[in-house]
Structure 1
Amino acid sequence: MSTEPVPLAEGGAGTTDSVPVVSIVRSLATELPGDQTAVFGARIWIRIAVTALGWNGNVLRATEAVARLVDNGVRHGMPAKVPRKERLVSLEVALTDAGGLVIDVSDLESAFPDFEAARRGEKGRGLWQVSHLGAQVTQLLPRTGTGKTVRAVLAPGPVDL
């Protein structure tokens, strides 16, 4: 369990100069295969993870956001030069002290030259859809390794029944 302050955006495209800092209360992480089976696995994992974290928010929105981010990571973040058995997508979720859910999906491709266009829906629909689920979407460099991380932050809200 980490209690260190973590900025909601740590640099890279799609971030702003004034970045709120929050404390992470609890977090969970997993690695998924770098193929389409990851999307199904991510849908199941996130439902368990948000329950274990005790997140007070819309689980259906979190599930859709994770599925779209993982799908993007698999489709666009697995360089052909990386052997199939080494292609992995990392998924980490964290609960903030303010009750928000931070979703980080990391892949192996560091380039994302059209991030802003993708977020606006001008290049693909995945990030645009995540934004329209109510998430703040940013891109940053991963804390370890290579590649990139796309982060979506969802606010707490009504719990799904």
Structure 2
Amino acid sequence: MNRQTTQSSGGGAGRTALWVVLALALAALAYLTLGLAIPNNPLYSDRSANGISKYQFLEACQEQIPHTPEMESVRSELTAQNMLGEDDSLYTELIPDSEELVDSIRVSNEPETSWEMTVPVRVHSQLTGKPLAQIVSQCRYDREQNAVMVMLRPAPQGL
């Protein structure tokens, strides 16, 4: 039996170069993500300083609009004007697009309040999907109570 053994080169230099390139690529990715992308993200916010992130504030505001006490008076007025049936319900939609919506979130000057936002809201019939009215939502985050406060008021042109 004649055995032939071949020995391959260790490839140490090539392997080292590959690890160096991989490490540099990961460092560049980390820099792009942490150094550039996060601070330039419009939803980026200092949660520890403001008590809640902009994203959480926006979500809480949207969720609470239909449950405000003022929404019942909007419903009553639309029903009285025969724009909404007794068995119909309402749903709301924030009018500004995403970019305008995020830009409308501001840091409040009031004590114990971090974020505030005032935006127009369109009220729709749940059954028909038809837009019925436009109102204005004023949202604030109260750090002391750890809660988003929402108040509605009629739009300048009214219901």
| TM-score for the superposition, normalised by structure 2 | 0.30
Which has the higher relative contact order, 1 or 2, with Cα contacts under 8 A spaced 6 or more apart?
1
Find the structure with the greater CA-based Rg.
Answer: 2
Say which structure is richer in helix: 2
| TM-score for the superposition, normalised by structure 1 | 0.30
